[in-house]
Amino acid sequence: MTTPLRTHLAAQLAILTLPAFKDNYLWLIHDGSNAAIVDPGDAAPVKAALAAHKLRLTAILLTHHHADHIGGVPGLLQDWDVPVFGPRNDGIALVTHPLGEGERIGVPGLDLALEVLDVPGHTLGHIAYVRRAPGRDAGANWLFCGDTLFGAGCGRLFEGTPQQMMTSLGKLAALPDDTLVYCAHEYTLSNLRFAQAVEPGNAALDARVRADGAQREAGQPTIPSTVGLERATNPFLRHDEARIVQSLLEAGRLMPGAAPVDAFAALREWKNTF
């Protein structure tokens, strides 16, 4: 990817966007001295950013076991002896601090508390990290959701069921509107094309297409988005909206009177081949 580094500032902490591979984003959280990396699939961009910004790595945070999220961990541990936080039930041998639903961690070296949510679907043990910062500046609520929620989309169901993914997305959609969504891939424009096909006439969606298209044309990420924007434009958070259900019925992908989980499953299957 050619996307340049971008910094997001909030309440004495900053987040650097580190592009990796074709369309991955790694998130480097730092305070100007210490740093934690989220889902380092590749060690090289992390090491380069740490050196460029004169930062010391103090923690690694993982959401799930796929190689493009954990592949850089061994290389980082060669240079830094740091804790590796990650899901308890996703089979990652390098995790030193296993986590699950409802647990809270203080990220070593940073003034940062994170809450853990179980969000199975993409993988069975997938977790997400949430920073809740009521009363702080705008942009201080964060969500690191790996491959569960994307800009205008959601992850494929490699291991979990439609019901699991629907429930997981419901947890994320319940977060405050201003929560910044730091997902792991730049899939937004292709997801938006699908969203427009299944929910024509959504004015918020049309506005997002224009805004995010301009972002990409300028070489900038479309991520982070916000939970509020996702609720207004992401078809997987809107699978029970009348217009989306109508699209599924018209396409012959859903039977009349089907349950919401059936609509969600049909929507995800449609996106797989869109």
DSSP three-state, residue 236: helix
Name the DSSP class of 136.
S
118 catalytic? Reply is no
Query: What is the DSSP annotation of 10-24?
Result: ETTEEEEEEEETTTE
One of 30, 65, 69, 126 is an active-site residue; which one? 69
Catalytic-residue membership of 65: no
216 neighbors 193 (Cβ within 8 angstroms): no
**Residue 147 is among the residues annotated as catalytic for this protein:** yes
Among 30, 39, 65, 122, the one annotated catalytic: 122
HSE, CB side, 13 Å, CA atoms: give it for residue 131. Answer: 26
Active site residue 126: no
Please identify which of the residues 30, 65, 66, 239 carries the catalytic annotation. 66
The one-character DSSP state at 31 is S
Q: Is 185 a catalytic residue?
A: yes
Of the candidates 126, 147, 212, 239, the residue annotated as catalytic is: 147
The answer to whether 263 touches 245, Cβ cutoff 8 Å, is yes
Question: Is the separation of the CB atoms in 63 and 146 below 8 Å?
Answer: yes
**Set 68, 90, 118, 212: catalytic member:** 68
Write out the two tokens for 161: 């069921």
In the set 65, 126, 185, 239, the catalytic residue is 185
My answer on whether omega of the bond before 224 falls inside 30° of 0, hence cis, is: yes
Which one from 30, 39, 42, 64 is the annotated catalytic residue? Answer: 64
Residues assigned a catalytic role? 64, 66, 68-69, 122, 147, 185
